[in-house]
Amino acid sequence: MRKLKRIFGILREHLKEWIWLGGYMKRYWLTIAFYIFIGIVGVAMGLVMSLAQRDLIDAVTATNKILGDIIAAASVAIALAVSQIFIRAASTWISAHISIRVINEIREDIFNRVIVSRWDALCSYHSGDLINRLEGDVNSVASGVITFLPNLITGLSQFIGAFIIIMVNDPLMAMFALLSAPILVISARPMMKIMRKHNEKMRDVNGRILSFNEEVFQNIQLVKAFSLGADYCKNLRTLLQEYRKIRLDYTKISVVVSIVMGLLGLIAGYSCYAWGVYRLYLGRITFGQMSLFLQLSGTLSSAFSALVRLVPAAVSTATCAGRVMEVTGLPCETDEDAPIAAELRQVAAEQGVRVRFTDVSFTYKDAQEPVLKKVSFTVEPGQVAAFVGPSGGGKTTVLRLMLGLLSPQEGSIDVIAADGSLSASVSESTRRLCSYVPQGNSIFSGTVESNLRSVAPDATEEDIINALKVADAWEFVSELPDTYHTKLSERGLNFSEGQLQRLSIARAVLRNAPILIMDEATSALDVDTEARVLKNLMTENPHRICLITTHRASMLEYSDLVFRVEGDGSFRRVSAEDIGFVLG
């Protein structure tokens, strides 16, 4: 009894996870009910089949054999066996359809919940770890949601049904069949502890392996350029050895427990067999009854084993659920200001908007000092504002605040209609007013068109070509074999960095937003191309605001406002006469 209390105590530790899983179980109660129905039908047919086989053996071994009884018993047994085949095949086919649908829906649901999490919260997780949770852990959760309860009820039904039949026929035989039960209960506790501890460790190492592989393959050019292949292979080997040790430790204990359980099961099985032979020798039971007892004692033992194995399985599922809950419980974006942001965008189409920072301060979570301190400035419609300063000084932070990826700890950031009729504080909702060209490669696999159309699904062919022309990209795109239908490899490796930057700018142009944010977006362009692109951007939409970060003096020639971010949190506007040294 104390062992059972400890088992349920461990399960109580995962009560929060199982309450969370219960939400999905409630959603898919019809699917779970279907699996339970299939399981109970299978159990019932198996038990009835055992009884039919008993009757057939008794009919064949009877002193006064009656052909009609033999044929009837054989017919029932054959009919049940054939029915089992077809029912099993049909349930497998239906279950596959249901299982795939449910698993995909749960994966999609959890992905959606993670994707709306705040950017600053997601940044505390490595992308490889997130992928590991959204793939391996979510699959385990989905499988547990739709199979745990059916397996539990089916196992209980099989155990109770077999036990009742044996008890009715021979109570002592039922006791022999349960000989291995106490040891199975005792062995469940260490198995659960092992499962809980090693599941967490293995999933953590798996996440690190996935993260490692992802980073290496994303930077394979750099790895080869510096001849780092051997070093990274050695690092991966270390991770794999760590995983191997954890997995073997788990397997070693599992093997020992399996041997003990197997031997005890063997003892229980042969005890049943010996008792059955003895009862048959005394003439107390028939051959059919002995066959029934032996078959049902095995069923009883296997059903009990299956029920015991559900406990570590429940712990494993709860462990995965806890890891998924951790990321789905991150603070979410609310999009509360969607109506006013949409209205602002309509107004901006005719007159543009202004951006105003008022005494904005921001400090990153792990930083000692603020990266921005009491920053104030205003950018009017049609102006280009450039942010310069040392690397890590806060230039990109200004852009992240403007995109609503970060929120200022002090001060306010507002987007205001040019005529002052509407205004909204910057948030995730006001991203509708922004186009963005990030620093570095931001191209997805697919075609040139799919990359551009991702931000403007309703764009016409004319809109796409115009955006490419504004970004000075149409000249090289038009010469491609399939023009803008040309496929891009992963990270666009079949294009140059300068071409990829222009495609990113074209994508931002196609969004047609009143605020264009460019983070070192022309670093791979030559001076002449850069000049054409910036001129095109301001000509194409004279009301557009451009917020840019740069280390290039040439960019400042096209800027109406230049702000130097000092790196100590201070922020000052630089005059035209200072442009020659602001990058120093």
In sequence order, what are the beta bridge partners of 356? 378, 414
Average pLDDT rounded to a whole number, residues 8-25 = 74
- Cα 469–Cα 475–Cα 478 angle in degrees, nearest 5: 100
Identify whether 312 is part of a domain: yes
Highest averaged pLDDT of the listed ranges 112-116, 235-239, 300-304, 515-519: 515-519
In sequence order, what are the beta bridge partners of 417? 353
Q: Taking a C-beta distance cutoff of 8 angstroms, is the pair 138, 109 a contact?
A: no
The percent of residues in the chain predicted with pLDDT above 90, rounded, is 16
CA dihedral over 278, 279, 282, 286, signed as positive or negative: negative
Are residues 359 and 324 part of one domain? no
* Domain's final residue, options 281, 301, 328: 328
- Tokens 């062995």, residue? 187
How does residue 127 score in pLDDT terms, banded at 50, 70 and 90?
Answer: confident
Q: Taking a C-beta distance cutoff of 8 angstroms, is the pair 175, 220 a contact?
A: no
Are residues 313 and 199 part of one domain? yes
> Mind listing the pLDDT tens digit for each residue in 68-84?
777 887 888 888 888 87
SS (H, E, C) 82-128: HHHHHHHHHHHHHHHHHHHHHHHHHHHHHHHHHHCECHHHHCCCCHH
Range of the domain at 45: 2-328
* Domain's final residue, options 305, 328, 351: 328
Query: Which structure tokens are listed for 476?
Result: 């090289």
> Mind listing the pLDDT tens digit for each residue in 254-270?
677 667 666 766 666 66
Q: What is the pLDDT of residue 190?
A: 57
> Mind listing the pLDDT tens digit for each residue in 333-374?
888 889 999 999 888 888 889 999 999 999 988 777 888 999
Q: What is the pLDDT of residue 182?
A: 58
Q: Taking a C-beta distance cutoff of 8 angstroms, is the pair 409, 446 a contact?
A: no
Of residues 231 and 376, more confidently modeled: 376
- Is the per-residue pLDDT at 123 higher than 80? yes
Identify whether 333 is part of a domain: no
Identify whether 416 is part of a domain: yes
What angle in degrees, to the nearest 10, is found between the helix axes of 2-13 and 287-328? 30
Which one-letter DSSP state was computed for residue 444? P
- Is the per-residue pLDDT at 189 higher than 70? no
What Rg do the C-alpha atoms of the chain give, in angstroms?
A: 35
**CA–CA separation, 131 and 115 (whole Å):** 12
Q: What is the pLDDT of residue 198?
A: 66
> Mind listing the pLDDT tens digit for each residue in 133-168?
887 888 888 888 888 888 888 888 888 888 888 777
Q: What is the pLDDT of residue 258?
A: 65
**CA–CA separation, 327 and 123 (whole Å):** 11
Q: What is the pLDDT of residue 3?
A: 46
How does residue 474 score in pLDDT terms, banded at 50, 70 and 90?
Answer: very high
Domain count, the chain: 2
Q: What is the pLDDT of residue 264?
A: 66
Q: What is the pLDDT of residue 8?
A: 54
Identify whether 61 is part of a domain: yes
Q: Taking a C-beta distance cutoff of 8 angstroms, is the pair 162, 254 a contact?
A: no
**CA–CA separation, 527 and 17 (whole Å):** 57
Identify whether 170 is part of a domain: yes
Identify whether 73 is part of a domain: yes
- Is the per-residue pLDDT at 471 higher than 80? yes
Return the H-helix or E-strand segment holding 386.
strand 384-388
Average pLDDT rounded to a whole number, residues 29-50 = 85
* Domain's final residue, options 299, 328, 357: 328
- Is the per-residue pLDDT at 401 higher than 90? yes
Which one-letter DSSP state was computed for residue 433? G
Are residues 423 and 278 part of one domain? no
| Ranges 4-13, 49-58, 231-240, 328-337: which has the least confidence | 4-13
Are residues 367 and 299 part of one domain? no
Average pLDDT rounded to a whole number, residues 539-553 = 86
Q: What is the pLDDT of residue 4?
A: 47
Q: What is the pLDDT of residue 378?
A: 94
In sequence order, what are the beta bridge partners of 307? none
Identify whether 583 is part of a domain: no
**CA–CA separation, 222 and 461 (whole Å):** 37
Return the H-helix or E-strand segment holding 424.
strand 423-425
Of residues 294 and 321, more confidently modeled: 321
As a residue count, the chain comes to 584
Are residues 310 and 174 part of one domain? yes
Q: Taking a C-beta distance cutoff of 8 angstroms, is the pair 149, 25 a contact?
A: yes
The distance from CA 554 to its chain's CA centroid, rounded to whole angstroms, is 44
Are residues 377 and 294 part of one domain? no
The distance from CA 565 to its chain's CA centroid, rounded to whole angstroms, is 38
Are residues 435 and 289 part of one domain? no
Which one-letter DSSP state was computed for residue 133? I
Query: What CATH number did the domain enclosing 103 receive?
Result: 1.20.1560.10
**CA–CA separation, 117 and 138 (whole Å):** 17
- Tokens 């967490």, residue? 200
Q: What is the mean pLDDT of the chain?
A: 81
How does residue 111 score in pLDDT terms, banded at 50, 70 and 90?
Answer: confident
Are residues 354 and 323 part of one domain? no
Are residues 408 and 290 part of one domain? no
**Residues 6+ positions from 439 with CB-CB distance below 8 Å:** 396, 519, 520, 521, 523, 549
Q: Taking a C-beta distance cutoff of 8 angstroms, is the pair 455, 503 a contact?
A: no
Backbone φ, ψ for residue 365 (5° rounding): -55, -40
Are residues 463 and 318 part of one domain? no
Q: What is the pLDDT of residue 221?
A: 61
Q: What is the pLDDT of residue 390?
A: 81
- Is the per-residue pLDDT at 410 higher than 60? yes
**CA–CA separation, 319 and 11 (whole Å):** 11
Query: What CATH number did the domain enclosing 510 receive?
Result: 3.40.50.300
Are residues 73 and 119 part of one domain? yes
Return the H-helix or E-strand segment holding 291.
helix 287-328
The distance from CA 222 to its chain's CA centroid, rounded to whole angstroms, is 28
Query: DSSP letters of 231-246?
Result: HHHHHHHHHHHHHHHH
- Terminal alpha carbon distance of the chain: 76
**Residues 6+ positions from 420 with CB-CB distance below 8 Å:** none
Are residues 126 and 55 part of one domain? yes
43, amino acid identity = V
Q: What is the pLDDT of residue 1?
A: 47
Q: Taking a C-beta distance cutoff of 8 angstroms, is the pair 546, 385 a contact?
A: yes
